[in-house]
Amino acid sequence: MPFERASGVLAHPTSFPGLHGIGDLGDSAFRFIDWLHTAEQRYWQIMPLVPVGPGNSPYASVSAFAGNPLLISLSRLVNDGFLDASDLSDAPTFPSNRVDYEAAADYKESKLRRAFDRHRSGAASQLRPEMETFLAEEASWVHDYALFMALKHHFSDAWWLEWDAEIAFRAPGATEEWANQLRAEVDYHNFVQFLFSRQWGKLKQHANERGVGIIGDIPIFVAHDSADVWSNQAQFRLDASGRPNVVAGVPPDYFSRTGQLWGNPHYDWKAMAADGYRWWIERFRSLLRHVDVIRIDHFRGFAAAWVVPADAKTAASGRWERGPGSELFHAIHSALGDVPIIVEDLGLITEDVETLRHDLNMPGMAVLQFAFGDGPDNAYLPHNYRDPIVVYPGTHDNQTTIGWFAGLDDATRAQVQTYLGQDGSDIAWDFIRLAMASTAELALISIQDVLRLGDEARMNTPGTGLGNWTWRFDPRQLDAGIASGLATLTETYGRVPPVEKGARKRDPYDYTAEGTKHSLYA
């Protein structure tokens, strides 16, 4: 479905400032929403809000549905009555410029378990009906997730294939028996998911009231060691022992000469079609309670996916296999109505992918960092945009624009300078201007580019397992001058609602956090 012309900022909540080792859903998140409103941005794009997996990645989670407990604001639990202020007086000194996942997890879990003990003792009893409603609305996944996490705890975090066979393969009566045996731990995980949902719901309400819609993310694949696979084994391509027959990845591309071997199990699309794609419908339904627009990561896998033998060392030995195509999305539409969707159609895109996207009338993506290095026919150059499209200077998987520009060869750098009509001395904001001025329906800018940061602020390097997802910004960097400059560009290129155009004059200058003046009209 088409979008009105608008713009927004890509920033994951883990990157927010905060006291407890990681950005969360507390005061900094609300201030960020207010900053977006001041900057006249109408969208906030996030990455998956799920618990992080290996390498702290939100794209390798134990659940495609659950919220990340690390994002829960402990300070807001004090406001709710689940904790006392004194409970947080022992907070260690965490680094302010990066996420310390291990230390944050240790500290936050201890406080969440204390909150759970208070809950069981009757604290904040006025919220119990709200929790019961949450558990009923999310019954399609939350009880299986809570039991999965309780079992992981019981079996010392072992892979589910290593559990006792009757519960690993969900023998008749086994889930009820183990749920009763592990009742306190199951209830703890249900409680934590309620806390997350409640805090996120309040943040989303604040965003929507400030005119900001949230763009959420659905990775196409899920992790094998997840509640999703364990509770839906018949819908994945597993052998008799529960191991994947084939795994997901992508062929050699811009990011890797041997491709990327993701290792996720592939779906059994025939089994999913047989029950009307129930799991996918529930996945979309659950996410739509948290976001306003859904971005589908690796959309091309629904047309055809790269299927790699499970014992392969790299993804280069894979092959293409057809996906469910439009049938899946028609089932989602029939169940949920019109769902606003953006599709990530980067990489090796073939005619079948383009046909599917066109048939579904969904905008794809253009990344300006991919637009240079060859000729004027490059599809990512703004003068070539024809179809509905969403433009990014760079995504969370790219270098920052400053880092990218610094590493260009002389010929490509000259092409960029010629195309922009600028010398590139303010390349991050040159690219923001280019995105804003383009005919793309949406222009989405990473917070790192808004703040004019180099590769020290890069969020993720695909194909690497360490050092990703840790960057955080300083609250002083998100100042009113930058908001004013971003609002000026947004107004200039017609990306605010018509009733707001010309509502106020703006200083034609933007100020960085360091106080350096940058003319927006240079």
Q: List CB contacts of 386: < 8 A, sequence separation 6 or more.
A: none
Backbone φ and ψ of 442, nearest 5°? -125, 140
Does 10 map to a domain? no
Q: Mean of the per-residue pLDDT values for the chain?
A: 93
pLDDT digits (tens, 9 = 90+) for 150-168: 999 999 999 999 999 999 9
pLDDT digits (tens, 9 = 90+) for 412-434: 999 999 999 999 999 999 999 99
pLDDT digits (tens, 9 = 90+) for 76-117: 999 999 999 999 999 999 999 999 999 999 999 999 999 999
Residue 315 CB coordination number (10 Å): 23
Mark whether 289 and 425 lie in a shared domain.
no
Mark whether 355 and 371 lie in a shared domain.
no
Does 59 map to a domain? no
Mark whether 383 and 510 lie in a shared domain.
yes
Residue 184 CB coordination number (10 Å): 10
Last residue of a domain, one of 314, 332, 363: 363
* Position 501 pLDDT exceeds 80: no
Does 299 map to a domain? yes
Alpha-carbon distance 425 to 246, whole Å? 48
Alpha-carbon distance 224 to 214, whole Å? 28
Mark whether 398 and 277 lie in a shared domain.
no
Mark whether 392 and 296 lie in a shared domain.
no
Does 219 map to a domain? no
pLDDT band, very low/low/confident/very high, at 499 (cuts 50, 70, 90): low
Does 438 map to a domain? yes
Catalytic residues: 297, 344, 397
Contact 154, 182 (CB under 8 A): yes
* Position 502 pLDDT exceeds 90: no
Mark whether 312 and 404 lie in a shared domain.
no
Does 113 map to a domain? no
* Position 518 pLDDT exceeds 50: no
Alpha-carbon distance 146 to 67, whole Å? 12
pLDDT above 90 covers a percentage of the chain that reads: 90
Does 307 map to a domain? yes
3-state secondary structure 125-172: HHHHHHHHHHHHHCCCCHHHHHHHHHHHHHCCCCCHHHCCHHHHCCCC
pLDDT band, very low/low/confident/very high, at 520 (cuts 50, 70, 90): very low
Alpha-carbon distance 462 to 315, whole Å? 14
Residue 428 structural domain: 366-522
pLDDT band, very low/low/confident/very high, at 512 (cuts 50, 70, 90): very low
Mark whether 373 and 522 lie in a shared domain.
yes
Q: Does residue 103 sit in helix, strand or coil?
A: helix
Mark whether 292 and 404 lie in a shared domain.
no
pLDDT band, very low/low/confident/very high, at 2 (cuts 50, 70, 90): confident
Mark whether 399 and 520 lie in a shared domain.
yes
pLDDT band, very low/low/confident/very high, at 462 (cuts 50, 70, 90): confident
Q: What are the beta bridge partners of residue 511? A: 517
Q: Which of 183, 279, 265 is nearest to 223 (CA)?
A: 265
Sign of the alpha-carbon torsion through 230, 231, 234, 240:
positive
Mark whether 507 and 481 lie in a shared domain.
yes
Does 130 map to a domain? no
pLDDT of residue 87: 97
Q: How many residues does the chain have?
A: 522
Last residue of a domain, one of 348, 363, 378: 363
Sign of the alpha-carbon torsion through 295, 300, 301, 302:
positive
Mark whether 357 and 393 lie in a shared domain.
no
Count of domains observed in the chain: 2
Mark whether 336 and 375 lie in a shared domain.
no
Last residue of a domain, one of 363, 381, 400: 363
Alpha-carbon distance 139 to 128, whole Å? 16
Element (H, E) at 410: helix 410-420
Quote the tokens at residue 66. 């659950």
Contact 484, 494 (CB under 8 A): no
Alpha-carbon distance 378 to 359, whole Å? 23
Backbone φ and ψ of 371, nearest 5°? -85, -10
Among 4-13, 73-82, 177-186, 346-355, the minimum mean pLDDT is found in: 346-355
Quote the tokens at residue 461. 């390097």
